[in-house]
Amino acid sequence: MQWENNQPLSVLFVCLGNICRSPMAEGAFREATLAEGLDVHIDSVGTAGYHIGEPPDPRAIAIAARDGVDIAGLRGRQLSEQDFADFAHIIALDTANMAGIKAREPRGSKAELSLLLDVHGTADGSVADPYYGDESDFEKCWAEINEATGEWVARLKHQIAG
Ligand code: 4NP
């Protein structure tokens, strides 16, 4: 979708459970937009409904807090049809969830669908699910997400300016 300057910038991050990767992406992206002075509507959801209403995984909260990013107040939500109308950019954390997003995409949706890691051309395009891993998996995940969300902010800022 071509960016229009009169539209508020809106970005939705999507993983499976909305308790690990997408809340980390939401927090990291929000931090980066604030640092750039950008006003963006940001949210995250899961394609699955396992953790609706739940806070992020304590390991995700801890790794974000270590960098001063507070995601403890976020609550799990499942991707809905309305999200395709409410968000200009829907960004999947992995290819499996991209497939889940496309399966729910309403006819005529104008939301631009992307993979988070497309921003720097990673071969497989997926941020690995750390849920069944350990703290080091969360650390790797957080680092990967921070780098990519920083690049997304630069890309979107460029779109707004251009
Ligand atoms: P996320 O991780 O998709 O990064 O939030 C997961 C969280 C929960 C489950 C799977 C992945 N689960 O199966 O409950």
| Residue 162: predicted pLDDT | 67
Q: Is 15 an active-site residue?
A: yes
| Residue 119: predicted pLDDT | 83
| Residue 122: predicted pLDDT | 60
Q: Does ligand 1 have an atom closer than 6 angstroms to the CB of 54?
A: no
pTM of the model: 0.94
| Residue 1: predicted pLDDT | 43
The low-confidence residues of the chain, meaning pLDDT below 50, are: 1-3, 5
| Residue 2: predicted pLDDT | 43
What SS3 state is found at 42? strand
**What is the best residue among 13, 14, 15, 16 to mutate for testing ligand 1's pocket, by most ligand atoms within 8 Å of CB?**
16
| Residue 161: predicted pLDDT | 74
In the chain, which ranges are continuous DSSP H helix? 21-36, 58-66, 81-86, 95-104, 135-161
CA–centroid distance, 56 to ligand 1, in Å, is 10
Per the residue annotation, which of 43, 57, 94, 129 is the catalytic one?
129
